[in-house]
């Protein structure tokens, strides 16, 4: 049968099938299941998935010759203990054949990111990378930060290692080239320049302070800068400043001087001293004590667009070369590769990986281990950073492990918690109510697991913190029960830390009991009667309270979790409140689009007047049919 997860580009000349074996939980049953698959396996490239008796994916692998590769798993004596455990759990396999081994490597990376199997090396930090988008679907292009799918028309520059790197570059673009960053709707409704024009961060094309050709020239200069031609831009600005001074246009000369100074500063902060390295991604791997770190540098146009440390998961007993190949295949599954990829070691599958990257990018990609020159110096810098980052990570992990053991001891848990969820609410006099959840564990704060909850149940009274917490937890655990009833995903918490005292703890425990959840520990944290930081009280469900010494590292850790939840909740509340300021009651009326909304506002003068209008008045509004008038009237005046 055709595999449902295979991408369209592998649709030609491929087959997929599933063969199931015994469900007995032992090594012999796993070998028997694999032998059943071997009977029908072709000697051609493809991808195989090993699955347990529940159908959960244990491992995804690729092969140049499927029969030969899968046949290795029945030779148990040659397998590592890790692979023997995997074979013992295997009860079925799914096979997908491909045209080439490069296609198999690409498909393997996609399936690993989708299923996150426990026996594969995983790119733990797999959040999308930020890019700069120079939109070209407007007469006056704008620059903006972008994440996710690249559907908008325009030029994409990246990846950047962090949002901070993007922000700094965007600020540079505004100072240097005065390009607009506002939305199209904001642009269309301006009657005078905004503050960015006043502080010389925009050329105000919205009110025609700059002509279209002159703005287009700024856009081209920005493209040159992002492409690494900053010296060319610098010379052009210098010539323009000299010409303005000679023409005694000192105001223009001063403006150009400021832009030139900004460019010189940016060149100093972004340069990485990589002469001869225009566009490159640099990767170095460090290993120590069973842990691994991969350091990545992103060089575009000779500029440093940031660096990031990665700590792949499931690397125990896996050769370093295999870890690096798997990491690069997963990393480039979503990120476009540079034309040059520098690595710190020779890879047996280097040619295959380069072929896969070229297929992914639609152009040639060179995978290289430099031996001398500037590229070698740059790689050595990445190696040094990888080793230092791994040392820091291991030191932090040791401290984190000790702290979690102390948490378990203080709150009488069965063991160190692998997942702590911290909850808080935020509102002002019962308006714009939101709940917030942050997550922490052995690796620290897991910001990609944070969640916010808009309080929306009618029965939740405004300002009732107990009811708000009840709604948040009911929705949270209802979803957990639906998506992971057997608790296999690791998303179930070991400890709930609640910002509140005895009352909040009692309300939370009652909510969990009603949901049938009885094995999740609950602890409340309050500031005590005087609300002094450092005098926090910790409340257990049985009514006991405890305190920690003022200089206790455990107290600092728990305070940090509480404060992070508070920060996240307040941020979510402020965002919701800001949106409510600009919300229009007409936005909620079914069938009312921008044109009809504008017609109604032009006719009645305000949304409040539309809400109070009689049916006959609505019918007289231009562009509003009788049926639409009735729908609007019924929306604001529901019938009993």
pLDDT at residue number 489 = 75
| pLDDT at position 628 over 60 | yes
Q: Who wins on pLDDT, 443 or 283? A: 283
Give me the residue label for tokens 């000349």.
13
DSSP 8-state class, residue 5? T
The phi-psi region of residue 275 (left if phi > 0; otherwise alpha if psi is between -120 and 50; otherwise beta) is beta
| pLDDT at position 56 over 50 | yes
As given in the structure block, the two tokens for residue 393 are 């990570």
Task: Please tell me the distance from the alpha carbon of residue 596 to that of residue 631, in angstroms, as a whole number.
Answer: 13
Mean pLDDT across 375-399: 88
DSSP 443-469: TEE-GGG-EEEE---TTS-TT-HHHHH
> How distant, in Å, are the alpha carbons of 163, 400, 460, 570 from that of 444?
20, 7, 33, 21
| pLDDT at position 430 over 50 | yes
| pLDDT at position 208 over 80 | yes
- CA angle at residue 525 from 522 to 529, to 5 degrees? 140
Task: Please tell me the distance from the alpha carbon of residue 254 to that of residue 245, in angstroms, as a whole number.
Answer: 9
| pLDDT at position 622 over 90 | no
Task: Please tell me the distance from the alpha carbon of residue 301 to that of residue 280, in angstroms, as a whole number.
Answer: 9
**Nearest CA-CA partner of 274 in 304, 294, 305, 306:** 304
Mean pLDDT across 316-333: 90
Q: Is residue 42 part of a domain?
A: yes
Peptide bond into 45 cis (omega under 30): no
- CA angle at residue 229 from 215 to 358, to 5 degrees? 105
3 pLDDT tier (thresholds 50, 70, 90)? very low
| pLDDT at position 350 over 80 | yes
pLDDT at residue number 528 = 62
**Nearest CA-CA partner of 442 in 412, 397, 497, 506:** 397
Q: Who wins on pLDDT, 252 or 559? A: 559
Mean pLDDT across 325-347: 89
Same domain, 556 and 463: yes
User: What's the chain's Rg over C-alpha atoms?
Assistant: 30
Cβ contact 335:275 at 8 Å: no
| pLDDT at position 22 over 70 | no
Q: Is residue 136 part of a domain?
A: no
> How distant, in Å, are the alpha carbons of 237, 300, 462, 545, 602 from that of 228?
16, 7, 55, 61, 49
345 pLDDT tier (thresholds 50, 70, 90)? very high
Same domain, 471 and 528: yes
> How distant, in Å, are the alpha carbons of 133, 146, 349, 383 from that of 151?
11, 11, 33, 36
Mean pLDDT across 190-205: 87
As given in the structure block, the two tokens for residue 52 are 């347990």
Same domain, 290 and 367: yes
Q: Who wins on pLDDT, 384 or 456? A: 384
Percent share of the chain, pLDDT over 70: 89
Task: Please tell me the distance from the alpha carbon of residue 435 to that of residue 469, in angstroms, as a whole number.
Answer: 7
Same domain, 602 and 530: no
86 pLDDT tier (thresholds 50, 70, 90)? very high
Cβ contact 452:568 at 8 Å: yes
Q: Is residue 77 part of a domain?
A: yes
Task: Please tell me the distance from the alpha carbon of residue 302 to that of residue 528, in angstroms, as a whole number.
Answer: 55
Q: Who wins on pLDDT, 123 or 1? A: 123
415-436: buried (b, 16+ CB within 10 Å) or exposed (e) per residue?
ebbebbbbbbbbbeeeebbbbb
Q: Is residue 370 part of a domain?
A: yes
16 pLDDT tier (thresholds 50, 70, 90)? very low
529 pLDDT tier (thresholds 50, 70, 90)? low
Consecutive H or E run containing 480: helix 465-483
pLDDT at residue number 23 = 41
Percent share of the chain, pLDDT over 90: 26
Cα dihedral 491/495/497/501 (nearest 10): 140
Task: Please tell me the distance from the alpha carbon of residue 470 to that of residue 284, in angstroms, as a whole number.
Answer: 48
pLDDT at residue number 588 = 66
pLDDT at residue number 406 = 92
| pLDDT at position 46 over 90 | yes
> Which domain covers residue 631, as residue numbers?
585-636
Phi, psi of 574 (to 5 degrees): -65, -40
Q: How do residues 580-603 score in pLDDT, each as one tens digit?
A: 655 566 666 777 777 777 778 777
| Axis-axis angle for helices 163-177, 250-270 (nearest 10) | 160
pLDDT at residue number 12 = 37
Q: How do residues 451-483 score in pLDDT, each as one tens digit?
A: 998 887 877 788 788 888 898 899 899 888 888
Q: Is residue 515 part of a domain?
A: yes
Task: Please tell me the distance from the alpha carbon of residue 30 to that of residue 9, in angstroms, as a whole number.
Answer: 32
632 pLDDT tier (thresholds 50, 70, 90)? confident
Q: How do residues 135-150 score in pLDDT, each as one tens digit?
A: 888 889 888 888 877 7
> How distant, in Å, are the alpha carbons of 185, 198, 255, 330 from that of 195?
17, 5, 17, 43
Beta strand pairing status for 340-343 and 366-368?
parallel
Same domain, 107 and 13: yes
Max CA-CA distance within the chain?
90
CATH code of the domain in which 604 resides: 1.10.150.20
Q: Is residue 218 part of a domain?
A: no
pLDDT at residue number 533 = 61
CATH code of the domain in which 64 resides: 3.40.1440.10
DSSP 94-116: EEEE-SSHHHHHHHHHHHHHHH-
Mean pLDDT across 318-327: 92
- Write the burial class of residue 73 (CB in 10 Å: 0-12 exposed, 13-18 middle, 19+ buried): buried
299 forms beta bridges with 280, 304
Query: Could you give the 3-state DSSP secondary structure of residue 229?
Result: coil
Mean pLDDT across 289-303: 84
Same domain, 434 and 545: yes
Instruction: Out of 115, 140, 157, pick the residue that ends a domain.
Output: 115
| pLDDT at position 487 over 60 | yes
Q: How do residues 253-286 score in pLDDT, each as one tens digit?
A: 877 777 777 666 555 544 455 556 778 899 999 9
Consecutive H or E run containing 546: strand 545-546
CB atoms within 10 A of CB 257: 16
As given in the structure block, the two tokens for residue 604 are 């009645």
Same domain, 490 and 545: yes
> How distant, in Å, are the alpha carbons of 17, 314, 323, 367 from that of 320?
32, 12, 5, 17
Q: What is the Cα 621 distance to its own chain's centre?
A: 46
Task: Please tell me the distance from the alpha carbon of residue 88 to that of residue 218, in angstroms, as a whole number.
Answer: 63
Beta strand pairing status for 521-526 and 495-499?
parallel
Query: Could you give the 3-state DSSP secondary structure of residue 257?
Result: helix
Instruction: Out of 371, 391, 411, pick the residue that ends a domain.
Output: 391
Q: How do residues 217-244 score in pLDDT, each as one tens digit?
A: 888 888 877 776 666 777 777 787 888 8
Which of 81-85, 155-159, 236-240, 268-272 bottoms out in mean pLDDT, i.e. has the lowest?
268-272
Q: Who wins on pLDDT, 174 or 420? A: 420
94 pLDDT tier (thresholds 50, 70, 90)? very high
Same domain, 288 and 355: yes
Same domain, 477 and 544: yes
The phi-psi region of residue 303 (left if phi > 0; otherwise alpha if psi is between -120 and 50; otherwise beta) is beta
pLDDT at residue number 369 = 92
Q: Is residue 305 part of a domain?
A: yes
Task: Please tell me the distance from the alpha carbon of residue 29 to that of residue 125, in angstroms, as a whole number.
Answer: 35
| pLDDT at position 2 over 80 | no
Mean pLDDT across 43-64: 92
Cβ contact 141:134 at 8 Å: yes
**Domain total of the chain:** 4
Same domain, 555 and 426: yes
CB atoms within 10 A of CB 562: 21
| pLDDT at position 312 over 80 | yes
Q: Is residue 53 part of a domain?
A: yes
Beta strand pairing status for 16-20 and 444-445?
unpaired
32-47: buried (b, 16+ CB within 10 Å) or exposed (e) per residue?
bbbeebeeebeebbbb
| pLDDT at position 383 over 80 | yes
321 pLDDT tier (thresholds 50, 70, 90)? very high
Among the ranges 117-131, 382-396, 480-494, 566-580, which has the highest mean pLDDT value?
A: 382-396
Mean pLDDT taken over the chain: 82
| pLDDT at position 9 over 50 | no
Q: What share of the chain is helix, strand, coil (3-state, %, to 5)?
A: 45, 20, 35
Mean pLDDT across 351-371: 90
Same domain, 329 and 359: yes
| pLDDT at position 531 over 70 | no
CATH code of the domain in which 332 resides: 3.30.420.340
| pLDDT at position 4 over 60 | no
Consecutive H or E run containing 612: helix 607-612
Same domain, 561 and 589: no
């Amino acid at each position: 049968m055709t595999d449902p997860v295979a991408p369209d580009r592998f649709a030609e000349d491929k087959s997929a099938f599933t063969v199931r074996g015994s469900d007995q939980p032992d090594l012999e049953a796993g070998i028997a299941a694999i032998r059943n698959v071997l009977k029908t396996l072709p000697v051609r490239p493809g991808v195989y998935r090993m699955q347990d008796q529940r159908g959960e994916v244990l491992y995804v692998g690729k092969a140049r010759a499927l029969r030969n590769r899968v046949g290795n798993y029945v030779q148990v004596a040659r397998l590592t203990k890790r692979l023997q455990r995997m074979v013992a759990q295997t009860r079925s396999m799914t096979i997908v054949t491909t045209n080439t081994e490069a296609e198999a490597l690409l498909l393997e990376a996609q399936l690993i990111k989708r299923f996150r199997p426990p026996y594969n090396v995983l790119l733990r930090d797999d959040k999308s990378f930020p890019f700069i988008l120079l939109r070209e679907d407007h007469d006056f292009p704008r620059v903006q930060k972008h994440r996710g799918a690249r559907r908008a028309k325009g030029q994409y520059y990246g990846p950047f290692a962090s949002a901070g790197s993007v922000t700094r570059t965007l600020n540079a673009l505004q100072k240097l080239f005065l390009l607009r960053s506002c939305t199209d709707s904001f642009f269309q409704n301006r009657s005078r320049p905004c503050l960015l024009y006043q502080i010389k961060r925009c050329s105000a094309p919205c009110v025609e302070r700059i002509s279209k050709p002159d703005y287009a020239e700024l856009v081209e200069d920005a493209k040159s800068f992002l492409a690494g031609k900053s010296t060319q831009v610098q010379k052009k600005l210098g010539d323009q400043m000299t010409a303005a001074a000679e023409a005694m246009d000192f105001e223009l000369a001063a403006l150009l001087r400021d832009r030139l100074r900004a460019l010189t500063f940016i060149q100093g902060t972004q340069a990485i001293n990589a002469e001869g390295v225009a566009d490159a991604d640099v990767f170095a791997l460090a290993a120590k004590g069973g842990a691994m770190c991969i350091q990545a540098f992103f060089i575009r146009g000779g500029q440093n667009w940031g660096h990031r440390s990665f700590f792949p998961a499931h690397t125990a007993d896996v050769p370093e070369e295999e870890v690096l190949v798997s990491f690069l295949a997963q990393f480039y599954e979503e990120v476009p590769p540079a034309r040059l990829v520098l690595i710190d070691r020779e890879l047996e599958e280097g040619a295959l990986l380069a072929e896969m990257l070229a297929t992914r990018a639609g152009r040639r990609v060179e995978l290289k281990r430099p031996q001398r020159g500037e590229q070698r110096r740059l790689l050595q810098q990445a190696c040094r950073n990888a080793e230092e980052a791994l040392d820091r990570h291991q030191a932090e992990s040791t401290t984190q492990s000790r702290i979690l053991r102390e948490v378990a001891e203080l709150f009488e848990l069965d063991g160190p918690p692998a997942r702590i969820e911290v909850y808080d609410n935020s509102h002002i006099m019962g308006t714009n109510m939101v709940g917030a959840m942050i997550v922490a564990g052995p690796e620290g704060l897991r910001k990609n697991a944070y969640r916010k909850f808009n309080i929306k149940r009618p029965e939740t009274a405004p300002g009732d913190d107990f009811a708000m917490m009840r709604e948040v937890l009911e929705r949270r655990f209802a979803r957990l029960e639906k998506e992971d009833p057997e608790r296999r995903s690791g998303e179930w918490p070991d400890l709930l830390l609640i910002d509140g005292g005895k009352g909040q703890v009692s309300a939370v425990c009652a909510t969990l009991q009603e949901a049938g959840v009885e094995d999740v520990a609950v602890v409340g944290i309050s500031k005590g009667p005087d609300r002094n930081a450092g005098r926090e009280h910790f409340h257990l469900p049985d009514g006991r309270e405890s305190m920690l010494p003022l200089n206790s590292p455990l107290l600092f850790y728990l305070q940090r979790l509480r404060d992070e939840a508070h920060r996240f909740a307040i941020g979510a509340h402020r965002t919701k409140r800001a949106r409510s300021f600009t919300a229009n009651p007409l936005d909620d009326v079914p069938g009312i689009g921008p044109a009809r909304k504008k017609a109604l506002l032009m006719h009645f003068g305000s949304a409040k007047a539309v809400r109070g209008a009689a049916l006959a008045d609505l019918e007289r509004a231009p562009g509003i049919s009788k049926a639409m008038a009735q729908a609007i009237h019924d929306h604001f005046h529901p019938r009993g």
